Structure 1
Amino acid sequence: MPKVLISRRLPDSVLEAASKMFDMELRDKTAPMTPSEMRSGLALYDAIMPSLGDRFSAEIFAEFGRPRCKLLANFGVGINHIDVDAARAHGVKVTNTPGAVTDATADTAMTLILMSARRAGEGERLVRSGKWEGWHPTQMLGLHVTGKTVGIVGMGRIGQAIARRCHFGFGMEVLFFNRSPKTVEFPARQVDSLHDLAAAVDILVVATPGGAETHHLINADVLAAMQPHAHLVNIARGDVVEEAALITALEGRRIGGAGLDVYEFEPQVPDALRKLDNVTLLPHLGTSTLEVREAMGRMVLDNLAAHFAGKPLPNPV
């Protein structure tokens, strides 16, 4: 049986299926793989299931000609932690799990939109503190979401799922910025300039893939273009947003607030960010439902099974 390394614990149903299909070894840790673990994995296993934080960089592959491992079956749709070109140069294929994550991630975006706009995190902390003095007409006034204008940065599967929820669920006008022209099946208008998009919307949602091309795409200039009442939501990758610039904008009350599920140096979250009341902070909950994680796991197994059977990969990168 092919020897496969699973880098993180998965739902029991997925691990049970994997154990029947492969000579499976589970790395039962929550922290990302270390460089030595990645190098030994490439040498000792026929395939590896990496995930977020397992940084298979060009340096990791550098000491190999053609490693024993011939497939990195990534658990997750984002693959900016894997140098795909370096993997390919060393004879290693890469797959991911698109589709399965779309709705759950879009739901998390809506959670952050509502929590940030309506100051839900701040309100919960007030109640838990025991200092809430009761309802009054000007208590914790936030931003009314229904009927507002949302800007989506990145109109892929997830961006479109967020836009649909905003339009059909909240009657919002949808504007979007995308690197290439995009036609969608619901009312939405593409804007040529990210700066112009930021200036026009009440809520700016980042849904673009991570990687070198989008590093610090949301920078100080984009944040400066946002309206003072507008909110920023990021469910993409942490380094798409220039975190230091966002902290400055929030500290200066230059924007209305922010909702974050990802961070530039995850899992490190700066003290300055954690101290702010005008930002909602979630611990990367984007796809955190049992059903979704099981579906992602099944996609990983499908990619592994196809690879070892010599069949076309369902989800090649």
Structure 2
Amino acid sequence: MNDIPILMAAPMPATVIDALDRHFTLHRLWEQPDADAFLARHGAAIRGIAANALAGRIDAGLFDRLPALEIVANFGVGYDNIDARAAAERGVMVTNTPGVLDAEVADLTLGLLLATIRRLPQADRYVRDGRWPDAPFPLSPTLRGRTVGIIGLGAIGKQIARRLEAFDVAIAYHGRTRQRDVDYAYYDTPVALAGACDVLIAIVPGSASTQHLVGAAVLDALGRDGIFVNVARGSVVDEPALIAALQSGTILAAGLDVYADEPNVPEALRALDNVVLLPHLGSASEHTRAAMGQLVVDNLTSWFSQRRVVTPVPETA
């Protein structure tokens, strides 16, 4: 397989780069002084892409420049950076990295939820600023007695729910359909779920169907004691509506790991004291990123050696 040309569109962990270098002829697009000129010269030979969210949009326009392309292996469970339908129309396989990051994202979600409700970053700043000798830190809200709603009860959503059970809170969910093997309360719209909960966690894929799924109506229904946590995609939330809700007290607080225009976080969000902001850390541990990287390598090597993959996305399965 060493003579098979693979395009890496943006940097990945060194372990992934080294492994792909061993198996394939790896072209690092981000190192090219003129990416368009490189694609014009070499695009016809490229048979695979190793992609991630930093690579930008991988769509029909790029596919047309890569006529020999057979597979796009994405580093991440979310693949809204790839036009999978356009890939399927061209017979191009698309893979992602589900499963190996579920537990890490669920752990991070619970940490972000607790940090938001108990105001842990604000308390840390209070100590660092030397304010504790002057007065105790103000009492925080609590998780006790709350109902937590989860928008998107997929593999990660279920792991979040199982962790929440240990906190003795009521759990409800919204999804496209009711799940017969789930005992949690089901609501058929995000607004209905928000109205029944005072914590709302978003963990759905980014897509046209989930664009601004959480907007002003959902935030109004969540209410003045409501906590919103987003570990899905920034596109899932109407960000200006969220900022307005936080500024006006429509909801109490928010914990955010994702944003509409990463890594650019609006100044209006950064200025608020009732929001906890993380730089998209969901799966960002050494252990989990190594497992994700290995799955990218496994998908590519399996495709070119056996004509099958480990984790195809539904559109191209």
TM-score normalized with structure 1 length: 0.89
The change in CA–CA distance for 1:36 and 1:181 in structure 2 (over 3 A counts) is farther
**Contact 1:153–1:176 (CA<8 Å) still a contact in 2?**
yes
CA contact (8 A) 1:215 1:240 kept: yes
Corresponding residue for residue 47 of structure 2: 46
Q: Is the 8 A contact 2:233 2:260 kept in 1?
A: yes
Instruction: Give the drift of 1:149.
Output: 1.1
2:139 and 2:227 map into 1 onto residues whose CA distance is 14
Distance 1:248 1:38, change over 3 A: farther
1:162-201 Cα offsets, whole Å, 9 max, x none, are 111111x21111100011221345x422122321210111
Q: Where does structure 1 differ by over 6 angstroms across 4 or more consecutive aligned residues?
A: none
Amino acid at match of 1:221: A
State the secondary structure of the residue aligned to 2:53: coil
- Whether 1:224 and 2:220 are equivalent positions in the alignment is yes
Most deviating of 84-93 and 249-258? 84-93
Superposition CA RMSD, Å: 2.2
For the residues of structure 2 that align with 1:193 and 1:56, how far apart are their CA atoms?
Answer: 31
Distance change >3 Å, CA 12–CA 268, structure 1 → 2: closer
CA distance in 2, matches of 1:125, 1:93: 48
Give the aligned residue type for 1:111: G
The one of 17, 20, 24 aligned to 1:18: 20
Indicate whether 1:199 and 2:199 are aligned.
no
1:44 CA displacement? 4.6
CA drift at 1:236: 0.4
Mapped partners of 1:257, 1:220: distance in 2: 15
Give 1:1-317 correspondences, 5 Å limit.
Answer: 1=2, 2-27=4-29, 36=36, 42-53=43-54, 54-61=56-63, 63-64=64-65, 67-133=67-133, 136=136, 139-167=137-165, 169-184=166-181, 187-317=183-313
Give how far 1:132 is off. 3.5
Q: Distance in 2 between matches of 1:38 and 1:106?
A: 40
Taking the aligned partners of 2:187 and 2:254, their CA distance within structure 1 comes to 22
Alpha-carbon distance, 1:268 to partner: 1.4
- Opposite residue 230 of structure 1, the aligned amino acid is G
Counterpart CA distance in 2 for 1:252 and 1:69 is 50
Deviation string, structure 1 residues 212-257 (Cα, Å, up to 9, x no partner): 0000000011111112111000000001000000000000011110
Mapped to 1, the partners of 2:75 and 2:223 lie a distance apart of 37
Query: Which string of whole-angstrom CA distances, capped at 9 and with x for unpartnered residues, describes residues 34-73 of structure 1?
Result: 9848955754522111101421133433x44x62222110
State percent identity of aligned pairs: 39
- Secondary structure at 1:205 match in 2: strand
2:225 & 2:98 partners in 1: Cα distance?
34
- Structure 1 residue runs of 5 or longer lacking an equivalent are none
Deviations 1:103-138 (A, max 9, x none): 1111111111011101112222222333333553xx
- 1:42/1:314 CA distance change after superposition, 3 Å: farther
Q: Is the 8 A contact 2:150 2:200 kept in 1?
A: yes
Q: Secondary structure at the match of 1:122?
A: helix
CA 1:38–1:47: 2 relative to 1, 3 Å: farther
State the SS of the aligned residue for 2:126. helix
Q: Report the more deviating stretch, 247-256 or 192-201.
A: 192-201
Larger mean Cα displacement after TM superposition, 224-233 or 50-59: 50-59
Deviation of 1:145 (Å): 1.4
Q: CA deviation at 1:152?
A: 0.2
C-alpha separation in 2, matches of 1:120 and 1:241: 24
Cα distance change on mapping 1:27 and 1:140 into 2, 3 Å: farther
Q: Give SS of 2:254's match.
A: strand
Question: Is the Cα contact below 8 Å between 1:67 and 1:90 reproduced in 2?
Answer: no
Secondary structure of 1:170's match? Answer: coil
Q: What is the distance in 1 between the residues matched to 2:10 and 2:220?
A: 40
Count of residue correspondences:
307
Separation of aligned partners in 1, 2:312 and 2:196: 37
